[in-house]
Amino acid sequence: LTASFAADCPATREILNRVGDKWSVLIIVSLGLQGTMRFSALRRGIEGISQRMLTATLRGLEKDGLVSRTVHPTNPPQVEYALTKLGRTLLEPVTALAVWAQGHRAEIYKAREAFERKT
């Protein structure tokens, strides 16, 4: 790990954009805690995410090899999502980030309010 991130090497930034996106974090944590899930269960479990955003985020995670998508030949087709082996390696740091955010949200909101009062 280096302290600088070269502009001509966007790979690290691109990966961080994917895995650090709020929806990606919530999807990874959900799949890590619940295991394999259907699309509708993921959507119900992640408050505020639209169908379109869930679809796009899952596609991106699948493209990057973090999530697998399995289509079962039923009528209508049943689609399930799960973390891949690579996705499971991301579970611990992403979960830690989500837990930290949840545990410190009151402090963050207070800091924001104090900042707004100063400006």
Classify each residue of 71-100 as buried b or exposed e, where b means 16 or more C-beta atoms within 10 Å of its C-beta.
eeeeeeeeebbbbbeebeebbeebeeebee
The residues of the chain scoring below 50 in pLDDT are none
Distance (Å, whole) CA 41 – CA 53? 15
Say how many Å lie between the first and final Cα of the chain, rounded: 36
Distance (Å, whole) CA 69 – CA 46? 18
